Amino acid sequence: MTDNDLKRALISVSDKTGLLEFSRALVELGYGIVSTGGTYKELHENGIPLERVSDVTGFPEILDGRVKTLHPTIHAGILARTNDEHQQELKDRGIQRFHMVVVNLYPFEKVAAGEHSDVSELIENIDIGGPTLIRAAAKNHESVAVLVEPSQYKPVISELREKGELSLETRKRLAWEAFTRTAEYDAIISGTLRNALGIGEEFPERLVIPFRRIQALRYGENPYQKAAFYRDIFLTEPCIANSKKLKGKELSYNNILDMNATLEMVKDFDEPTAAIVKHMNPSGIASADNISEAFGKALGADPLSAYGGIVALNREVDANTANAMKKIFLDSIIAPSFHQDAMPILDKKKVMLLETGNLENVKKPNFDMKRVVGGILVQSRDLSTLDHSKLKTVSERAPTPEEMNDMLFAWKVVKHVTSNAIVLAKNAATVGIGAGQMSRVGSVEIAVKKAGGRAEGAIMASDAFFPFRDGVDAAGKAGVTAVIHPGGSIRDAEVLDAANEYGMAVVLTGMRCLRH
């Protein structure tokens, strides 16, 4: 048996999880191990026979460990094919092959997630040798197996014990996983340094955002569609992807869409607020002095549509709120926390519970993305708030303080309703919502119908201007007393005339808030 017939594994890992058990198994299977730095120390101190990389290369680690494995002897042993020409060249130069490369990378992600990490610390945790080894081994996967995660150790050892070698199919998959890992690693570095180095380009020419799968879903929007849920690893604010499931069934594709919409609604409110959503649109939203009252008002906005809905609260679920919730069938409840007195009540109910953590002032600037065939649309996240100093009362009658409060409440709601969006509200609660109609008057008519007699004395919010007076006429006939909308239509004067005829107060925001 020649030196190049000996099986050899190069191991250099930051995450030492499972390392000793895996290395012992390799030795039992006849592998020789070559290692570096901390990995060598860990294995050597635990009695595992191995060589140092520096003994193989005849070149010491230099520059505080920045250069360890970047050497022709190492990379030739990884990149050499099994053909006669390459093997003879290795023999002529006294280089031995590597059959396996086991590398996981410097913990850049953990350092980047630290609150006090500075640029120099980030730079020092950018791995150079590791990705180079991984890519070399993955490129030569016909001859070399490459492992980049501790979770790969057990299945690899099992296959080696069962078959004596790893199949080409296994090596192909390992290579793909390796290239995926280095691509993700570079994406994390790129995104982190963009902020750390003060690169101010809002929409860079190349957009690389790493996502990591949380779970495979049973199906997509429909049963014949496949789906999975991925998390943006840069986003740390409370959200569905970062929440903790306390009880209930597995999340579905449609669950996640509705939960996200519901949670984002209540994040916009400082007051105790509850939202109930079906198909990404609210059936009711309300604010109150306490969360139990807010939930009751939100439920009362449209009890029929709330059946089977998703509820989000921006305060802890207490026993009073839990008792109110147990009286209606709900799919899911999302909240910052659940009081210990509430859990026994909700444990008896078939409902999913998601805990998000504190929701006060948590929204952060970020990208919104929508997939279109052939690309993605990227825009800055809508974190807009009304500048009260720029609100303009244009009607003959000014709004009362109560009307103004309800208009400000309804404006926060209407930005979360699918355009064309109309919200009728009274006493910090929605009483009628019209969503997604092709004409604005159509949305007004739906909102008025939902409100019924509660439209009397309510205010109306519209996410964009009224192109004709018909929407205001429909609201005025139902008893709506005030309107808040962006303005900007060529028929604003006609719309205002209609409002004045009904004695409505009209406030212009000067900004629209469409949602598609």
Positions annotated as catalytic residues are 139, 279
Tokens of 363: 């929204």
Q: Under 8 Å CB-to-CB from 260, ≥6 apart: which residues? A: 239, 240
Sign of torsion, CA 347 348 352 356? Answer: negative
Closest CA to 105 of 141, 145, 133, 77: 133
Pull the structure tokens for residue 128.
Answer: 């150079």
Nearest of 328, 334, 210 to residue 262 by alpha carbon = 334
Please tell me the distance from the alpha carbon of residue 225 to that of residue 262, in angstroms, as a whole number. Answer: 24
The closest alpha carbon to 486, from 502, 467, 473, belongs to 467
Query: What residue type is assigned to position 6 of the chain?
Result: L
Q: Which residues contact 142 (CB under 8 A, 6 or more apart)?
A: 81, 82, 168, 171
C-alpha to C-alpha distance for 413 and 299, rounded to whole angstroms:
15
**CA separation for the pair 131, 148 (Å, rounded):** 10
Please name which of 180, 15, 186, 171 lies closest in space to residue 105, comparing C-alpha atoms: 15
139 in Cβ contact with 176 (< 8 Å): no
